[in-house]
Amino acid sequence: MINNLINLMPLPMRKYFQMSSKQRKHELQMTLWSMPLIYIAGSALIVILTIVLDLQLNISRFVHPWLSAGGEATQTLVSALIGGILTLSAFTLNSLLVVLTNFSDQFSPRMMFNFIADKTTQHLLGIFHGSFIYVLFIFLFLTNNENEYYSAIPVISVLLAALTIITFIFFINHASSWMQVHNFTYSMKKTSKITIQESLKHEVEEHRSYEPGDLMRSQQTSKEILTIKESGYIQMINFKEMVEEAKKDNIIIQFYIKVGDFSLKNNRLFSYWGPGQNNVNSDKYLHMIEMGHKKTEIQDMKMGITKLSEVAVKAIGNSDPETALTTIHHIADLLLSIEEEISFTPYLQDDEKQTRMILQSEDFEHYLHKGFGYIRNYAKHDYTMITELIVVLSMMSQSISADKLNILWNFGSNTTDLIAKNFIFDLDRRYFLEKLYELAMFTGHEIDYVAAEKKLQQTKP
């Protein structure tokens, strides 16, 4: 019965009922209508409350005359507030469109979703819509009622109008403040850190193991391979439930693609093997994987890094080095969080230390390239920015674990190869070499620094 009702709904509404709870929550956060809808529902309750107070309880008899108004005066007040609140709402929405357009052109189209998903933005818009709906319904009620005196209606209408004006001021301040580089880049970094903490650390890390354990290789030759039913992006995998089901079925699952990857129909998704593979209901595992037409940040750490990297690249192209530098700093902080919280191993085990899933693992070097690779390529002729990139690598080398130091040095050394092909001013070369030597010292590659220095010395005229 419920499924039939869901199928009768329009597709934009039906899709929310077909998602997992976590996916539904994420999608609702990315919409502008969900929070205002709650405020509208709240305003409807306030309408009922004020009508009961004025008609059923007739509180105008018990309050000071200053807090009461005649029927005609109340109707005039409410009708004036309708136009005022509607004007403020229209101006606010217009300002919102200007902000989103500016973000798309100057930085990255993906930043629009961060502004829309911001709780402050949604609450402020909800107040506008809730207030307008309140005065609208109250006006409709007043035109069909001949009560002589009201108290709750005029008082609450005036209070909501005052709240709307204050909200308008807060919204303008919020929009202008959010557009500042240090604020929106910090917000994006914070969102990515939440992804690491909530979706990965607490769901995946407890099952990770550096040791492969028993992989049942003798039965791997008869493994079953499942393919993707429809083309799309892998948005989310329910790792915890999949590990538990694999334990019940006594199988091992190996994925061929990662969260965030795009795959075409009938491409390989995962395979499984083990003593219980002949009794496996493969459909239940497919239901644990969310597919969609776009990437999401629910479990995809690369998405947050990519958005920050795009901001830096756009800033370099717009001759805005300070924005690029601020973004690079936030990327470095995010990379450190990934290195601290995530184990770069593909094996997920159950509570009996038996491997149940083998993932397509990504190492720290992959995330480092995602964060700084595009920036390095676009800034290859901006030696000041390249030098600042080396400075950030030096800072990371002082905070990161020792086994990642070689990765940082190799990235910095390859950057030297990139710029060594072009002419460099003496002052740019000297400053770059100073910072490169610091990186070599912190990573233990002082000897390799000599070779890198010779490459840059060859670019002298």
The confidence score (pLDDT) of residue 77 equals 80
- Rounded to a whole number of angstroms, the distance between the first and last alpha carbons of the chain is 80
* pLDDT at residue 21, rounded to an integer: 63
Return phi, psi of residue 273, to 5°: -155, 165
Task: Kindly compute the dihedral angle of the four CA atoms of residues 328, 334, 339, 343, in this order, to the nearest 10 degrees.
Answer: -140
d(C-alpha 285, C-alpha 242), whole Å = 7
Six token digits for residue 212: 């492969």
Query: What would the 3-class secondary structure string for 158-181 be?
Result: HHHHHHHHHHHHHHHHHHHHHCCH
For 104, the token pair is 């798309």
Torsion-angle region of 73 (φ positive above 0: left; ψ -120 to 50: alpha; else: beta): alpha
Q: Which residue has the tokens 């915890």?
A: 240
Q: Please state, in angstroms and rounded to a whole number, the distance separating the CA atoms of residues 398 and 384.
A: 22
* Neighbouring residues of 168: CB distance < 8 A, sequence distance ≥ 6: 88, 91, 92, 128
Residue that is written with structure tokens 């509404």 in the block:
13
Q: Name the token pair of 178.
A: 């959010």
Q: Which amino acid is at 146?
A: E
Nearest-angstrom CA–CA distance, 229 and 212: 30
Residues 45-76 as b/e (b if ≥16 CB within 10 A, e otherwise) read ebbeebbebbeeeebbeeeeeeebbeeeebbe
Give domain limits for the chain.
18-179, 303-343+363-457
Integer-rounded Cα Rg, in Å, for the chain is: 29
Distance CA 271, CA 279 (A): 14
pLDDT computed for residue 269 by the predictor: 93
Among candidates 370, 261, 387, which has minimal Cα distance to 313?
370
Residues 251 and 220 sit within 8 Å (Cβ to Cβ): no
Instruction: Provide CB contacts within 8 A for 240, sequence distance 6+.
Output: 203, 204, 207
Please state, in angstroms and as integers, the Cα–Cα distance from residue 366 to each residue in 257, 388, 410, following that order. 15, 21, 13
Rounded-to-integer distance, Cα 453 and Cα 349, Å: 47
CA 198 to chain centroid = 12
CA 178 to chain centroid, in Å, comes to 15
Low-confidence ranges of the chain (pLDDT < 50): 461
Query: What is the SS3 string spanning the chain?
Result: CHHHHHHHCCHHHHHHHCCCHHHHHHHHHCCCCHHHHHHHHHHHHHHHHHHHHHHHCCHHHCCCHHHCEEHHHHHHHHHHHHHHHHHHHHHHHHHHHHHHHHHHHHCCCCHHHHHHHCHHHHHHHHHHHHHHHHHHHHHHHHCCCCCCEECHHHHHHHHHHHHHHHHHHHHHHHHHHHCCHHHHHHHHHHHHHHHHHHHHHCCCHHHEECCCCCCCHHHHHHCEEEECCCCEEEEEECHHHHHHHHHHHCCEEEECCCCCCEECCCCEEEEEECCCHHHCCHHHHHCCEEEECCCCCCCCHHHHHHHHHHHHHHHHHCCCHHHHHHHHHHHHHHHHHHHHHCCCCCEEECCCCCEEEECCCCCHHHHHHHHHHHHHHHCCCCHHHHHHHHHHHHHHHCCCCHHHHHHHHHHHHHHHHHHCCCCCCHHHHHHHHHHHHHHHHHHCCHHHHHHHHHHHHCCCC
Cβ within 8 Å of residue 446, ≥6 positions away: 437, 440
